[in-house]
Structure 1
Amino acid sequence: MKPLLLLDVDGVLNPIGRPAPGYRQFRCLIDDETYVVHLDPRHGPRLLGLAAATGAELVWATTWEHHANDWIAPRIGLPSLPVIGVNAAAGPVSEHGEMFKTPHVAAYAGRRPFVWFDDQVWAEDEEYLRVHQGLGDFLLVHVDPARGLTSRHLGMAHEWLTLTGFSQGS
């Protein structure tokens, strides 16, 4: 089974606060609402390289949903990616304390191993996923929303996929 690399946007690809050098500012218009995002164009090639090296599939796991393909992907050099539909209207936390996205991620991933880059994954999310019937192995990579995705995060994903034998590129 091809592993998944799940990507959040805000706090991961779009850090909150002052971005590091190399980030560019963009204005995105969605449903008459303007959003300012800071994106690093190096993220796209790095993520594509990680996916190629590990045989993984990149997938959006973000409240941007399909808007990520319109506004984020082309600005960082990613192709259009599959999208996990999340119900942001459900609120930040679900019934058992896990983030609202977590049940949607579990349903989408099924038995496929996955790495999830998000700034809002915590112990409650890991616990929910660990006890979820029929779910494959996973690695949650918590990203500091002030800094965004770094080489260290990508290295953690590469190492986990390679050492656990999920990598199809090894």
Structure 2
Amino acid sequence: MRPLLLLDVDGVLNPFRRPTPDFRRYECKVGEEVYTVHLNPRHGTRLLELALVTGAELVWATTWEQHANEWIGPRIGLPELPVIPMGPDQGGSYGEMFKTPHVAAYVERRPFVWFDDQVWLEDEEYLRGTQGLDDFLLIHVDPREGLTSRHLAQAHEWLTLSGFSRGS
């Protein structure tokens, strides 16, 4: 089974702290709302490289849902990606984030790495205990700094050492 690389936007690709000079500012209009995002075009290249060398599939796991393909992906050089539908927030029963049950339903039994600024121990416990999933890595991204080389290396190492990488 081809592993998945799940991507959040806000706090991961769009950090909350004043961005460094390698980020560019964009205004995105979704419905009647206008959002300011700061994106690093190198993220797209780095994520595509990670997917290529590990044989993984990139997937949006964000409340931006399909809007990520319209507003985020093209600005960082990503093609249109599959989107995990988030549906309504039904509240967590184990302290997990509202996105976690949607992610569990989408991945089924596929191995995955999830980059998100809101994944915690409760999400891991929910996925392992409630859903019975074993082959995944949750990478908590500090929302002030966003995705870094360290996070990408961590995903690469896990996919490779776990035997999910194309080259293993």
Aligned to 1:111: 109
User: What amino acid sits opposite 2:68 in the alignment?
Assistant: A
Provide, for residues 85-116 of structure 1, a one-character-per-residue CA deviation record: whole Å limited to 9, x for no partner: 113x417x512100000001011111100000
- The corresponding residue for 2:22 is 22
Structure 1 residue 32: Cα displacement: 1.1
Runs of at least 5 residues in structure 1 that lack an aligned partner in the other structure:
none
Output the CA distance in 2 between the equivalents of 1:70 and 1:10: 15
Q: Is the 8 A contact 1:112 1:137 kept in 2?
A: yes
For 2:49, the equivalent position in structure 1 comes to: 49
Runs of 4+ in 1 over 2 A off after TM superposition: 132-136
Gaps of 5+ in 2: none
Aligned to 2:145: 147
Q: State the AA in 1 paired with 2:97.
A: M
**Is the 1:4–1:59 Cα contact (8 Å) retained in structure 2?**
yes
2: CA distance, partners of 1:3 / 1:107 = 15
Tell me what 1:75 maps to.
Answer: 75
* C-alpha displacement of 1:169: 3.2
Alignment of 1:150-165 (within 5 A): 150-165=148-163
Aligned-residue Cα RMSD (Å) equals 1.1
CA distance in 1 between counterparts of 2:151 and 2:133 reads 23
TM-score (norm 1): 0.95
Aligned pair 1:167/2:156, yes or no? no
| 2:4 paired residue number | 4
Amino acid at match of 1:16: F
Question: Paired residue for 1:129?
Answer: 127
Give the TM-score normalised by structure 2.
0.97
Structure 1 residue 134: deviation in Å? 4.5
Q: Percent identity?
A: 72
Deviation string, structure 1 residues 59-102 (Cα, Å, up to 9, x no partner): 00000000000000000000000000113x417x5121000000
- In 2, distance between residues paired with 1:61 and 1:46? 18
